Amino acid sequence: MKKRARRWLTLGVTAAVLALVVYNLTRGSEWRHFDWNRLWATLVSARRDYLLAAVAATLSSYLARAYRWRYFMDPFKKASLWTLFVAQVYGFSSIYLIGRPGEFVRPAYIARKESVPITSMVAIWVLERVYDTVFMILIFALALEYAPLQLTGRHGHAVLYALHRGTLLMTLVMLLAIAVLVVIRLRSDEIAALMGNRARFLPARVRRSMKSVFYSFAEGLDVIRNWKDLGASLLTSAVVWVLNVSMVWFGFRSLGGRLGELTWMSAALVLFCAALGLFIQLPGVGGGYQVGVIVALHRIFAVPREPAAGVAILLWIAMLVPCLTLGLLLLAYEGMSFKKLGAMAQEEERRAAMHQKV
C-alpha cells in the first residue's frame, strides 16, 4: 500500500473511531438532551488567567521530564538539558499528530543528538513508562482516599469497578516490569553469559551483536544502581505529575461553578480516569482520554454534562495547541519539519535493527 493511501486509511479509521465514541457517548438517555448552546456558553466564559496557568503547567511538565531524562542518563552520559527538552516537545507533538507511533521520536532524537546507542534510549523510555505508571497508581490511591465522590447514573459504580480492575492489572504488570528491569541491571553479566551459552548455535558475530545490544539496553538502566540519580529521578517524576494534575485543576477553575468547587485531589482522580480511558473500556461509553474526563466528572463528581464536556475540550486544547506551536517554532529554528523528524526516527529504528543483525 502506498504511503498516501495508508495516510488516508489512517485518517478514515481515526474519524470512524471518533464517530463511534461520540455515538456511544450520546446514545444514553441522559445524553439525549445535551445542550450544545450551554456547552458553547461554558467555553466562551472560561477565565483566561487559569487557562494560561494550565498552559504554563503543561509546558513546565516538559521541562521536568527533560530533567528526569537527564538524571536517567547521568550515570553514563552528561546530556544537554536543551536537547532533552526539545526532544520532549517533539515527541509529544508527534504523538498528538500521529498517535502512539510518535513515541519513538524522543529516544531517536536524543540518541542522534547525544551520540548514544538507541537501545539505551529505548531502555530509558521503558523506565520512564514504569515511573509514570507507578505515580499514576499512587495518585489514584490518594484520590480515592481524599477526593469527595458523588456517584451518579446507573454506570457510576460500574465505572469505579472498572477503574479498580484496571488499576489492579496495571499494578501487577508494573511489578513484573520493575522486577525484570532490576534483574537486568543488577545481573547483566550473568544474563549476558547465559544468553551466550544458549545461543552458541548462532554465528559468533551475531552473538557479539546480541551482547552489545543487551549491554546498551542495560546501560540505559544505570540509574537503578545510582542512589543519587535514582532519588532525583523519583523527585522529578513527582514534579511531573504535580504539574499534570495542576493543569487539570486549573482547567476546572477556569470554568467555575461546580467544577471550580472540585479539589486538587478530585483533579488527580479525573486525570487518572482520563489516562486509563486510553487503555480500558468504561461501561456504557467506551474509551478515550476526553471521554475519561467527561465520565469521571459527570458520573463520579456529579458535574453537569455540558461543563464536563467543556473542560474536556479545554484540557485537550491546553495540551495540544501549546505543544504543537512550540514544536513548530523549534522545528523552524533547527531547519527541520515533522516529516524529517519522522524520517530520522525511522532511520534510527532501522539502524538499531541492522545492528542486531550484524
Tens-digit pLDDT profile for residues 141-200:
777 777 666 655 556 566 667 666 766 777 787 778 778 777 777 777 777 777 767 767
* C-alpha to C-alpha distance for 36 and 306, rounded to whole angstroms: 7
User: Would the pLDDT of 80 be above 90?
Assistant: yes
Residue 148 CB partners (closer than 8 Å, separation 6+): 263, 266, 301
Residue 186: what pLDDT? 74
Does residue 202 belong to any structural domain of this protein? yes
User: Would the pLDDT of 129 be above 50?
Assistant: yes
Cβ atoms 127, 225 nearer than 8 A: no
Q: What is the dihedral of CA 112, 114, 118, 123, to 10 degrees?
A: -140
Does residue 127 belong to any structural domain of this protein? yes
Does residue 29 belong to any structural domain of this protein? no
Going by the DSSP 8-state scheme, the letter that residue 202 receives in this structure is S
Higher pLDDT, 208 or 60: 60
Residue 96: what pLDDT? 77
Cell of 26: 450520546
Query: Bridge-partner residues for 286, per DSSP?
Result: 282
Does residue 171 belong to any structural domain of this protein? yes
- Note the pTM of the prediction, 2 decimals: 0.75
Share of the chain above pLDDT 70, in %: 66
Write out the residue range of the structural domain in which residue 119 sits.
35-357
Provide the sign of the torsion angle of the four alpha carbons 226, 231, 232, 236, taken in this order: positive
CA atoms within 13 A on the CB side of 61: 22
User: Would the pLDDT of 70 be above 50?
Assistant: yes
User: Would the pLDDT of 347 be above 50?
Assistant: yes
Count, residues in the chain: 358
- Mean pLDDT, range 315-329, rounded to an integer: 87
Query: Residue 118 is which amino acid?
Result: I
Residue 210: what pLDDT? 66
Share of the chain above pLDDT 90, in %: 15
Does residue 19 belong to any structural domain of this protein? no
Confidence of residue 316 (pLDDT cuts 50, 70, 90): confident
CB atoms within 10 A of CB 241: 20
Mean pLDDT for all residues in the chain: 76
**Total count of domains within the chain:** 1
Does residue 22 belong to any structural domain of this protein? no
DSSP 11-61: HHHHHHHHHHHHHHHHSSGGGTT--HHHHHHHHHT--HHHHHHHHHHHHHH
Does residue 13 belong to any structural domain of this protein? no
Distinct helix (H) and strand (E) counts, the chain: 15, 0
Exposed, middle or buried: residue 200 (CB in 10 Å: 0-12, 13-18, 19+)? exposed
Strand, coil or helix: what is 60? helix
Does residue 17 belong to any structural domain of this protein? no
Q: Treating both helix axes as pointing N-terminal to C-terminal, what angle do 105-114 and 81-98 enclose, rounded to 10 degrees?
A: 150
- Considering only CA atoms, which of 343, 354, 353 is closest in space to residue 109? 343
* C-alpha to C-alpha distance for 283 and 352, rounded to whole angstroms: 41
* C-alpha to C-alpha distance for 114 and 83, rounded to whole angstroms: 8
Higher pLDDT, 187 or 94: 94
